[in-house]
Amino acid sequence: MPDTSATPSPGLIEALGNLLGPRGLLTAPEDLAPHLSDWRALYRGATPCVVRPADTAELAAAVKLCAAAGVAMVPQGGNTSMVGGAVPDETGRQVVVSLARLNRIRALDPVDLTMTAEAGVVLKAAQVAAAEAGCLFPLSLGAEGTATIGGVLSTNAGGNTTVRYGNARELMLGLEVVLPDGQVWDGLRRLRKDNTGYALRHLFVGAEGTLGFITAAVLRMYPRPRDTALAFCAVADEDSALALFRRFRDRDESAVRAFEYMSGTGVDFCLRHIEGVTLPVSTRADHYVLVDLASPRPDAALRDMAEALLAEAMEAGEVLDAVLAESEAQAQKLWKIREEHPEAQKREGASVKNDVSVPVSRVPEMIRRCSEALVRMIPGSRPVPFGHIGDGNIHMNLEQPPGMDAGAFLARSHDIMDCVNDIVREMDGSFSAEHGIGRLKTDMMPAWRGGAELDAMQRIKAALDPWGLMNPGKVFPAGGNHRA
Ligand code: FAD
Ligand code: MLT
Ligand code: ZN
């Protein structure tokens, strides 16, 4: 879908300034800079201004001005996208629209178990607000201190707790949206049942800002956990990791809040680069898992259950060593080893991410086949598979060989992604499990989603955003709907 948007004129920028005031419009280069590059430093875009409305009405008025001028808009939350989804392109024609100032929690109801939060509320702040009301907002991911409610919904983020609570989509009951022409749709309904025509709210979740701006959402909360247990385990191999998952799931599926896999290589990187991280088990292993259990029942006896299942698994040779957290502080320390994987990988050198999913039963085979193929393709490179084994989503990442030129390694990025994707495809998997398409993976869409599926997406896009002003260059391939 070509970007035919207009260049923002000085008159438009002045009108936006008059509408939003000095806090609502950034134009100084030093203020623009943090909005122009992504967390992975894959892209560096340009823009004449960042629009920062204070509320939905201001956003709607700003969108009307941009739409009337034919100017493209790039929604931005915490800018933690892993696929360059929230940064403008290099033309300098696209205006960045930051939702950061829409950061109020409008309502919270422990009886309905709902929270109405604006798009710019940081995920961590939503978790804290739920906890203060004696509830749980369960979405959890490494970037939760920066990522926003609008961003996690727009990417349909998954993270660590999908295995128990689903993705962001499953935690959303209603939305408020500013459409590409500036109309406001108030769909902030907090109903569990509402079969009244198309479920429009689901269109905007996972749309990555290509259909409109999410300005607020009704989020679904859960009763707060009253019993928890956390185990960090060294396991014999990938199959043992899956077997251990089955042991816990089959005993009490509702207690498994997260079940995460880490390779020995990834944990080594954390030990090397992240301050305060130590190996909690007595000897190094090639494979680890983190088992996080939680229940609203105070008498769930999760620690006893974990001890019993780990003993069985040790006897079966699946678990080599394990430690159970003795306190909340120790639990956080164990989680840190998992959560710091992306940062540790960054510090180790250049790396390529493959955010893939396969049916849960095939995860061990996928990890083995991809690891072997990647090392065959780039001898000395280091596979770093880790992530959400309980829902089938593994980050099949690859670290450069020690000493190799980072640029030369990154020049192979698309070969690396193709190598993994070919295997994942044979296994009925997905090339993007939770990070979305953004700008990075648009060229993969025709091969994976081409034909009727991409055609339907393009029609929806054309219906809601006929001028192509919402986040151009993201999700949709530049070359149209042609299968590779
Ligand atoms: P941004 O990066 O600002 O935006 C993401 C996309 O949504 C862009 O396309 C943007 O245009 C659009 N957008 C943002 N806000 C709005 C809005 N209000 N309305 C419409 N469109 C909007 N993701 C996972 O799923 N699971 C993980 O475990 C995970 N771990 C991560 C760990 C780290 C260290 C980092 C850096 C990222 C991780 N991510 C993970 C990536 C993930 O996509 C983001 O953290 C989160 O979903 C994005 O939120 P954000 O507010 O930063 O959105
Ligand atoms: C995570 O789960 O930590 C991120 O989604 C993975 C990544 O950085 O590749
Ligand atoms: Zn992840």
How far, in whole angstroms, is CA 145 from its chain's centroid? 13
Whole-number Å distance, alpha carbon 150 to ligand 1 midpoint, is: 8
Residue 430 structure tokens = 């997905």
φ and ψ at residue 4, rounded to 5 degrees = -105, 20
397 CA to centre of ligand 2 in angstroms: 9
Instruction: Tell which of 193, 223, 253 closes a domain.
Output: 223
Whether residues 95 and 119 share a domain: the answer is no
Q: Is the CB of 151 within 6 Å of ligand 1?
A: yes
CATH code of the domain covering residue 45: 3.30.43.10
pLDDT band at 200 (very low <50, low <70, confident <90, very high): very high
Kindly state whether residues 128 and 231 are assigned to the same domain. no
Average pLDDT, the chain: 97
Closest CA to 7 of 49, 62, 41: 49
| pLDDT at position 260 over 60 | yes
- The span from the CA of 149 to the CA of 176, in Å, is 12
Cβ partners under 8 Å of residue 130, min gap 6: 108, 115, 136, 137, 221, 224
Does the residue 431 lie in any domain?
no
Give domain status of residue 481, yes or no.
no
Query: Which CATH number does the domain housing residue 399 bear?
Result: 3.30.70.2740
pLDDT category at 3 given cuts 50, 70, 90 is confident
- Confirm or reject: Cβ of 338 under 6 Å from ligand 2: no
Q: Is pLDDT at 2 greater than 90 in this prediction?
A: no
Q: What is the pLDDT of residue 380?
A: 98
pLDDT at 1 over 70: no
- Within 8 A by CB and 6+ apart from 85, the residues are 154, 155, 208, 209, 436, 437, 438, 439, 471, 474
Identify residue 376 by its one-letter amino acid code. Answer: R
Mean pLDDT to the nearest integer, 295-315: 98
The answer as to whether 461 is a domain residue is: no
Tokens of 15: 């009108």
With a cut of 60, say whether residue 401 has pLDDT above it: yes
27 and 56 fall within a common domain:
yes
Is residue 95 located within the same domain as residue 55?
Answer: yes
Residue 429 Cβ inside 6 Å of ligand 1? The answer reads no
* Whether pLDDT at 483 is above 90: no
CA 225 – ligand 3 centroid, Å: 23
> Rounded to an integer, what distance in angstroms lies between the CA atom of residue 249 and that of residue 386?
19
Q: For residue 134, is pLDDT > 90?
A: yes
Instruction: Tell me the backbone φ, ψ of residue 135, rounded to 5 degrees.
Output: -125, -175
**pLDDT value of residue 479:** 77
Judge whether residue 165 has pLDDT over 70. yes
Asked if residue 102 has its Cβ within 6 Å of ligand 1, the reply is no
**383 within 8 A of 257, measured Cβ to Cβ:** no
As a whole-number percent, the residues of the chain with pLDDT over 90 amount to 98
| Alpha carbons 251 and 245: distance in angstroms, whole number | 10
Residue 170: pLDDT over 50: yes
pLDDT digits (tens, 9 = 90+) for 210-247: 999 999 999 999 999 999 999 999 999 999 999 999 99
* Ligand 1, atom 10: closest residue by C-alpha: 86
3-state secondary structure of 395: strand
- List of E strands, 310-381: 319-324, 351-352, 355-357
Task: Give the per-residue pLDDT at 480.
Answer: 74
Q: Are residues 109 and 161 in the same domain?
A: yes
Question: Which domain, by its residues, includes 79?
Answer: 10-101
Phi and psi of 384, rounded to 5°?
Answer: -130, 70
- Is 75 within the bounds of a domain? yes
**Six token digits for residue 265:** 């290589």
Do 66 and 119 lie in one domain? The reply is no
Q: Is the pLDDT of residue 272 over 90?
A: yes
Q: What is the CATH number of the domain that holds 131?
A: 3.30.465.10
Reported as a pLDDT band with limits 50, 70 and 90, residue 484 is very low
Question: Is residue 437 in contact with ligand 1, taking CB distance under 6 Å?
Answer: no
The tokens 């499990």 sit on which residue? 433
Regarding the beta carbon of 393 and ligand 1, being less than 6 Å apart is answered no
Is 438's C-beta closer than 6 angstroms to any atom of ligand 2? Answer: no
What residues pack around ion ligand 3 (CB closer than 5 A)?
387
Alpha helices per DSSP H over 51-165: 56-69, 123-132, 149-154, 162-165
Average pLDDT rounded to a whole number, residues 318-334: 98
Which tens digit of pLDDT belongs to each residue from 350-399?
999 999 999 999 999 999 999 999 999 999 999 999 999 999 999 999 99
Which residue has its alpha carbon closest to ligand 1 atom 18?
150
Domain end (from 101, 130, 163): 101
**301: Cβ–Cβ under 8 A, 6 or more apart, which residues?**
227
174 CB under 6 A from ligand 1? no
Residues 189 and 295 in one domain: no
Same domain, 335 and 360: no
pLDDT tens for residues 19-37? 999 999 999 999 999 999 9
Measure 388 CA to ligand 3 centroid, in angstroms. Answer: 7
Same-domain status, 317 and 356: no
**What are phi and psi for residue 74, nearest 5 degrees?**
-115, 105
Question: The domain that contains 292 carries what CATH number?
Answer: 3.30.70.2190
Q: Are strands 95-98 and 50-51 parallel, antiparallel or unpaired?
A: parallel
Ligand 2 centroid distance, CA of 387 (Å): 7
Q: Is 362 a member of any domain?
A: yes
Structural element, H or E, at residue 280: none
Banded model confidence at residue 335, pLDDT cuts 50, 70, 90: very high
Residue with tokens 């780990």: 310
CA of 366 to the centre of ligand 3 (A): 16
Report whether pLDDT(83) > 80: yes
Same domain, 317 and 219: no
pLDDT exceeds cutoff 90 at 326:
yes
In a domain, 484, yes or no: no
Instruction: Determine, yes or no, domain membership for 458.
Output: no
Is residue 162 in contact with ligand 1, taking CB distance under 6 Å?
A: no
Is residue 439 in a domain?
no
The structural domain count of the chain equals: 4
406-438, pLDDT tens digit by residue?
999 999 999 999 999 999 999 999 999 999 999
- Boundary residue ending a domain (426, 441, 460): 426
Is the predicted pLDDT of residue 126 greater than 60, yes or no? Answer: yes
38 lines ligand 1 (CB under 6 A): no
Do both 82 and 111 map to the same domain? no
Query: Do residues 291 and 186 both lie within one domain?
Result: no
| pTM for this predicted structure | 0.97
Atom of ligand 1 nearest to the CA of 212: 20
